[in-house]
Structures are given as C-alpha cells and as structure tokens.
Amino acid sequence: MSGDALRSFLAADLSPQALAQAVQVIERLRREVPQGVRWVPEENLHLTLKFLGGVEPDRISRLVTAASAKLEGLAPFEVALGGLGAFPNARRARVIWLGVCAGGAQLARLARKLDAAAARIGVERERRPYRTHLTLGRLRQPAPVALSGVPCPDGLPFSVEEVVLYESRLSSAGAQYIPLARLPLRTADARETNLAPEM
C-alpha cells in the first residue's frame, strides 16, 4: 500500500435491531465456542460488499463517483439475517459468520456493481464467488467448531438504504472503521426528475 493510501472497503450497515440480534448470537457463541476466537465488536459488525485495499485520496473521490453512478436507480431492499456457518468450513474454521435468509440476491447484485465500479479505479476484480455473510468472529488457528442454528424465521428484517465507504485502520487494539462516504440507494422517481411517467 503506497503513500497515504487508505485501507478501505464498501459495506452495508445493519439496523440497530439487527445489530442487537447479531450481538446476542455472539454472546451465545462465546459460551458455545469458547477458545481462540476474536469476536467482532458491535461497532465493527457490517456486511462487506467489496474490499478495496489501499486507495489514495484522489482515487477515493473517483470511486465515490463511479459507485454512485452504478447504484443509480437501485432501490432500498430488505435483508434478514439467519443461519450460521464457517469459512472455509466448520472442521477448519477461520471465520464464523451469520448468513442472510432474505435479500441475498440483492446484496450480491450490489456487490457485483461495486466490484465493477472499483475496477474503474484499478481495484482488482473479485475472483471468488460472492457469499454474503456477517463476520462474527475470527480464529487465530483454524479449528473445528460446532455451530447450532439461528433459524431463518428469527431473522429481523431491516432495510438497506445506503452503501458505506469505510476506512479500516488496523492496530494491535483491533480494526477501527471510519465512514468516509455514504452512498444512498434511491428508486428512480419520476417526481424527482420532473418527468411525466411513460405510460
């Protein structure tokens, strides 16, 4: 990462209720999966849409422009959290995550658009298939984990209204995420453009 590049990523935030739900899941897992897990602090919980890596400030502003253009006409949508899993798998877990039971296709669509926008400023395209997940914890050493379910009907639906560009400051005390820009999702609305709808 060169010069004054900012380590950054694009994400969707959770609603306060969904955040509280995720924190409850972590509290339960703390008891069930006792050792060697760094649990994500509440303020860091988010759905990553695109990891950017180091981006210089002038490219950040170009990214915001490119991403806003890609998001044009995309309306807010509902997401519900549910289902637990581990990457790469439960026998050798590195990451423990909460899945989504609703809104996965829309999140994947957002991720694709943001991947394309990031490519415009020279960020490498994502080669792995996008798998929506909320990272709850990371294991220092891969280990087997037994995860009891979080049934999907429990998932509190919340609305994704914006994409947030975060800077990620890493330190020995853990990551600190600082919002740099908020890109709203908005339905293309005839009233806004003052055009009569085409019938």
Site residues, ligand ATP (CB under 6 A): 7, 9, 48, 51, 135, 138, 168, 170, 175
**String of DSSP letters for 85-130:** EEES-TTSEEEEEEEEEESHHHHHHHHHHHHHHHHHTTPPPP-SPP
**How, if at all, do strands 134-143 and 93-102 pair?**
antiparallel
Query: Residue 1 Cβ, how far from ligand ATP at the closest point, in Å?
Result: 11
Of 5 and 51, nearer to ligand ATP (C-beta) is: 51
CA atoms within 13 A on the CB side of 28: 14
Query: Residue 173 Cβ, how far from ligand ATP at the closest point, in Å?
Result: 10
Of 51 and 161, nearer to ligand ATP (C-beta) is: 51
Tokens of 154: 């429990």
Of 15 and 168, nearer to ligand ATP (C-beta) is: 168
Question: Crossing angle for the helix pair 57-71 and 104-120, nearest 10 degrees?
Answer: 140
Query: Residue 112 Cβ, how far from ligand ATP at the closest point, in Å?
Result: 14
Rounded to 5 degrees, φ, ψ at 162 are -160, 160
Of 7 and 62, nearer to ligand ATP (C-beta) is: 7
Q: Are 108 and 131 in contact (CB under 8 A)?
A: no
Query: Residue 62 Cβ, how far from ligand ATP at the closest point, in Å?
Result: 20
Rounded to 5 degrees, φ, ψ at 64 are -60, -45
Of 70 and 133, nearer to ligand ATP (C-beta) is: 133
Query: Residue 119 Cβ, how far from ligand ATP at the closest point, in Å?
Result: 14
